Amino acid sequence: MRKKITILVLLVLLFASFSNVKADTDIQINNIQTVDISNESFTIKWQTNGNYDCTMIYSTKNGNLDDDLLVTTRDGDDYIFGSIFSKSNNNGIYYYENEIKNQGVDTRYFDGDKGYYDLICYDGSRNRAVSSVYSFDIPAENKDDNATDNNDAENKKNGSTDIYSNQIILRLQRRITELERQVLDLEERLTNLDQKFADKYAGTMFLDVENHGRLWYVDPVSKNRFYFENGEAALSIGGKLATGITYENIQKIPVGVPDMLYNLTDSDGDGLSDRLESALGSDINNSDTDGDGYSDKQELENGYNPANNQKYNYDQNIIDRLEGKMLLQVSGPNSHGEIWYIHNGQRWYGGTKDSMYEIMKAKSLGATAKNIRKVIVGNVEEAK
């Protein structure tokens, strides 16, 4: 049975004396402590000597945690990344709150009874400090229950397995419409799970050609399908499922250039929406940001960064491992919490709920209801 930990991180920033840090700068990190861990949350605190952009990297295995391999999956060899957001300031003390995405960490992949993490803080010049690696204990109630797994195997052999034993339920900060609820309830009843099919099409956007063009996204981690009723649903659900990624690593994936602007503004007429240019750091009022004689769109299409005329250094391993995923950009000079969809080796960003929805539809695969119903339905609830 899949056991999860939803990880909440509270970060307190203040002036202090510091140790246990590898750094080439004056950035200092200290007083790292585990405050609370249970089957629902894992909270730690630490201190720094200034207002920095700090992140955490979690690993399922002991050893050095390298943010250059920042990939969030439930794979035993990959890393779990914590994004930083919700900063507030109270009399010079900075508070941050962080939540691990993808519905938590599957503890079956941890070494024994422990997990591992380190902390990285950046200043405005992108200098950084890295803490030592710390471990945390996995609560007994979260450990994999072999007896339960054996029972599941026996049930499957007898044809009585509950196909929704691995269903994901997302709690969203928005109202669930009546139509959305009706569709989800109906699809749950009509699902006929084919796990090989679900595994094959993990990360796919399906367009139901028999039922009003309904858009479904198969989450590559849980192998659940989620109903994107409209742009608002697509962004709220996509944000919950998104994997955190740094500015450095998002640069290693080619940018997809939509064929249409989808009613978005293009102030300089270069074929790139203002929203996309803002995410990339190019000038929304200059079609040739770096002044080299090539438009910003031409630069992108030929693998160059339109903001500085530098060739992107793509990483095929990262591209392949993130195919089909939603990514949440959590750091960098142009980061505003953008959500990117990785499709056919490129990252796609719309900028608004409506334009992103249209881009997802354009990248979808038409399928019959019978085939789509081979994947179990991921459910949603309104957060209380």
Q: What is the pLDDT of residues 234-268, one digit of tens each?
A: 988 988 888 888 888 899 999 999 888 888 899 99
pLDDT score of 109:
42
Q: Are residues 98 and 169 in the same domain?
A: no
Q: Does 327 map to a domain?
A: yes
CA separation for the pair 363, 359 (Å, rounded):
6
Neighbours of 283 (CB within 10 A): 18
User: Between 164 and 87, whose confidence is greater?
Assistant: 164
> Do residues 125 and 188 both lie within one domain?
no
Residue 27 shares a structural domain with residue 131: yes
pLDDT at 174 over 70: yes
Domain residues for the domain of 109 are 8-139
Q: What is the pLDDT of residue 244?
A: 80
Domain count for the chain, please give it.
2
Nearest Cα neighbor of 335 from 326, 327, 345 is 327
What is the pLDDT at residue 80? 40
Specify the pLDDT at position 61: 59
Same domain (yes/no): 207, 319 = yes
- pLDDT higher than 80, residue 200: yes
Q: What is the mean pLDDT of the chain?
A: 75
Tell me whether residue 269 is in a domain. Answer: no
Asked if the model's pLDDT at residue 328 lies above 50, the reply is: yes
Residues 184 and 60 in one domain: no
Residues 135, 32 share a domain: yes
Residue 198: pLDDT band with limits 50, 70, 90: very high
CA distance 262 to 158: 51
Indicate if 126 and 208 belong to the same structural domain.
Answer: no
Confirm whether 243 is domain-assigned. Answer: yes
Is 347 domain-assigned? yes
Whether the pLDDT of residue 111 is over 60: the answer is no
Average pLDDT value for residue range 71-84: 35
Interval 288-318: pLDDT, tens:
999 999 999 999 999 999 998 899 999 999 9
In a domain, 96, yes or no: yes
Last residue within a domain, chosen from 105, 139, 173: 139
In this predicted structure, what is the pLDDT of residue 384? 62
Residues 232 and 362 in one domain: yes
Of 316, 308, 318, which Cα lies nearest the Cα of 245? 318
Domain final residue, candidates 93, 124, 139: 139
> What per-residue confidence (pLDDT) applies to 77?
32
Q: What pLDDT, on the 0 to 100 scale, is given for residue 241? A: 87
Same domain, 223 and 360: yes
Domain finish residue from 73, 107, 139: 139
pLDDT for the residue numbered 243 = 82
292 is a domain residue: no
User: Residue 284: its pLDDT value, please?
Assistant: 95
Residue 170 lies in a domain: yes
C-alpha–C-alpha distance, residues 27 and 264, integer Å: 40
Average pLDDT over residues 15-23: 43
Cα 83 to Cα 11: distance, rounded to the nearest angstrom? 12
Q: Are residues 114 and 43 in the same domain?
A: yes
Distance separating alpha carbons of residues 307 and 220, to the nearest angstrom: 32
Indicate if 88 and 219 belong to the same structural domain.
Answer: no
- Give the confidence band of 14 by pLDDT, cuts at 50, 70, 90: very low
Distances (CA, A) of 317 to 69, 71, 164, 378: 10, 10, 32, 28
Does residue 169 share a domain with residue 122? no
Q: What is the pLDDT of residue 168?
A: 80
Q: Strands 205-208 and 243-245, how do they pair?
A: unpaired
